[in-house]
Amino acid sequence: MSTVVRLATASRTAPKLALLGTGVVGSAFVARYQRLQDRALPLPALAWLANSRALHACEGAAQQALDNARLATAGNDAVPPWAEGEALRAGDIVVDATASDSVADRHAEWLSRGVHVVTANKLGIGGALARAQAIGRARTESGARYGDAATVGAGLPLLRSLRALVAGGDRIHRVEGVLSGSLAWLFNHYDGMRAFSGFVRQARQGGYTEPDPRLDLSGEDVRRKLLILARAAGLPLQSEDVRVDSLVPADLAALPLSDLDSALVHLDAPLAARFKDAYRNGARLRFLGRFDAERASVGLQALPLDHPLCGGGGTDNRVAIYSDRYPEQPLVVQGPGAGAEVTAAALLDDVLAISGRA
């Protein structure tokens, strides 16, 4: 029997809020939502939340609905539970705290119906260019808002800064930055004396990387974030326009996850050699995404110590924006760019901004 809760479609005047995704970010979203509610911030009512297995009405008990959804087993419905979002109406807000391609594919449709979308899912505007353009058209034509601050930098004012510069007539000359919290942590800690594979294991155990750290080391996540920034700057880049130099050798990439841990040693010699070369030249290794009007790339770079991206620590993102008004000394945005708490805060910032204008 399906676990989907069928929702009433009676007329209502107040907009409602729906959450898709009950993982670490979705859970942090519910916890912060309840704290902000206790402080009487003007949040819309959280009507329901869903994951790939179940949908639950909140009915004033968001934490209980979250617990139920996380414990649910998969139903037999051909249609995923979150597709109950068809009940969303103009003025409602749907929050996408997933990493799902199929959920991202609904963003333009929801916007076209006047439903506001708030998202941490990079696949909407950081995936296929056609999808990103469809999202842009839908929000323009309907007037619905698209809150995407959580897609890059977990709410750091990166997208807002880029868009403000463009709106003010600035041309963006170049953007480059440390866009991955996990890779920032790795290269802030790697000292060339201890094996790089040991730092990867430590990062995985500390929750800084995905359970399969190859997803971080491949640079694909950075590619998506770079596409989002480039498109915000007015460059309609395709995914294939970004050259990605993965840190994962082909033999390691082909292994099943169960065999990965013992094979991480294949990372050690190449990274030790690159560290040694950088150190000898008075430089530091940083994993960067970079674009200008002619090219875009993702990969490991050796930067001089006085480079604006050599600072920072921990999982900090650090991004330099060069434009007409910042041609030599860039605008640098730095801060925690990863983590469930800051991502959830960015999502709720967008929800509050939208609901405050409703």
Q: Which residues are catalytic?
A: 225
**Burial (CB count <10 Å: 0-12, 13-18, 19+), residue 146:** buried
- CA angle in degrees (0–180, nearest 5) for 125-207-341: 60
Among 278, 279, 41, CA closest to 17: 41
d(CA 121, CA 267): 29
Quote the DSSP letter at residue 210. -
Residue corresponding to tokens 């004033």: 60
Q: How far apart are CA 159 and CA 232, in angstroms?
A: 7
Q: How many other CB atoms sit within 10 Å of the CB of residue 327? A: 11
Q: The tokens 């960067």 sit on which residue? A: 288
CA atoms within 13 A on the CB side of 200: 24
Tokens representing residue 197 in the block: 């594979």
At which residue do the structure tokens 């989002």 appear? Answer: 228
